[in-house]
Structure 1
Amino acid sequence: MAQSSHPAVDRVAEALAGHGLSSEIFWFDDAVTTAQLAAEALGVEVGQIANSLVFTIDEEPILVLTSGSHRVDTEWLGAELGGVIRRASKETVKEATGQVIGGVAPLGHPAPVRTIVDVQLAEYPVVWAAAGHAKTVFPTTFDELVRITGGAPSPVEPAREASA
């Protein structure tokens, strides 16, 4: 993995340090803009990738950190949160996080962003989150994600019925 620097990644590193974490940021040679690509590059399960998805709920940005093994059910989650969830525009993502789609980190934003942390991430001892650029990730845990984001643990899709 190549080592490099970028202003958004530097802000993420500073934010991690501000939370007492010295988590190493890993740089890839190529962008890993999907959970599958990140998992393959790291040699981990796709569920260990914490996708950072920015939506709006009643026009306010909301960051949903979801396990790479499934999608957010926006209709269901919106109902759970008491609003209507829509995918944020790239401009809204950049304004809310200071980062671009494909590399949005859970922290290092200009101001706090309401955050939901997918409880499915708790199934893994280590999860990987973007670090402010599409070529970066850092290792963390579910509990650390909740703590450093001030996020609310929640399912992001309805419970699945057991199949016969």
Structure 2
Amino acid sequence: MAIDKVRDYLRRWNRDQDIMEFDTSSATVEKASEVLGVEPAKIAKTLSFKNGEEALLIVAAGDTKIDNGKFKETFKSKAKMLTPEETLSYTGHAIGGVCPFGLKQELPIYLDISLKRFDAVYPACGSSNSAIKLTCEELEEYSNSTRWIDVCKGWQEA
């Protein structure tokens, strides 16, 4: 199971026991927010995109949407999300549990600056009913992210 792979992965930081598992689904930002009792923006959603013949992951705040112009400027290609089947194939995690930990293969991982406004965020942990509370610094370290980027919209005040 993917959650076991994530648990093994997070063990190197002694954080495997901090994974929360729920009796109900946390597969969407709304469901995760409800089960955790936090605002939707604090859910760190992991989005999977095509990048030529490869894939990349972007972890962003739950209240954001990808800004196609910023994406194209950053990655020099159009934002095209992976299908659920492709996501599972690349990451080893099914939609609803995709996270930047314990991946099936090494992928470039980017963190969107929309997350930086929070002391703690909640990414999934490989299943549709799991999460972990992390600081942005921990998320950056544990995900082995490539860099922070600015490719989202809808979260900044006008």
- TM-score w.r.t. length of structure 2: 0.89
Match of 2:57 in 1: 63
Kept in 1, the 8 Å contact 2:90–2:104? The answer is yes
Q: 1:160 to 1:66 in 2, by over 3 A?
A: closer
Match among 93, 100, 115 for residue 121 of structure 1: 115
| Structure 1 unmatched runs, 5+ | 1-6
* 1:149 pairs with 2:139: no
| Structure 2 unmatched runs, 5+ | none
Q: 1:24 to 1:67 in 2, by over 3 A?
A: same
Q: What percent identity do the matched residue pairs reach?
A: 26
Q: 1:92 to 1:13 in 2, by over 3 A?
A: same
CA positional deviation for 1:85 = 2.3
What is the rounded CA distance, in whole Å, between the counterparts of 2:97 and 2:155 in structure 1?
29
What code does the residue aligned with 1:124 have? F
Secondary structure, aligned partner of 1:86:
coil
What is the rounded CA distance, in whole Å, between the counterparts of 1:17 and 1:161 in structure 2?
35
CA positional deviation for 1:64 = 0.8
- TM-score w.r.t. length of structure 1: 0.86
What code does the residue aligned with 2:52 have? D
What is the rounded CA distance, in whole Å, between the counterparts of 1:74 and 1:133 in structure 2?
28
Match among 30, 35, 45 for residue 29 of structure 2: 35
What is the rounded CA distance, in whole Å, between the counterparts of 1:114 and 1:128 in structure 2?
20
Q: 1:45 to 1:23 in 2, by over 3 A?
A: farther
Match among 96, 106, 120 for residue 102 of structure 1: 96
- How well do the aligned residues superpose, as a CA RMSD in angstroms? 2.0
Secondary structure, aligned partner of 1:153:
strand
Total equivalences in the alignment: 157
* 1:47 pairs with 2:38: no
* 1:134 pairs with 2:117: no
What is the rounded CA distance, in whole Å, between the counterparts of 1:116 and 1:130 in structure 2?
16
* 1:90 pairs with 2:122: no
Deviations 1:49-103 (A, max 9, x none): 0001111122311111010011112342132122232010122111111110111
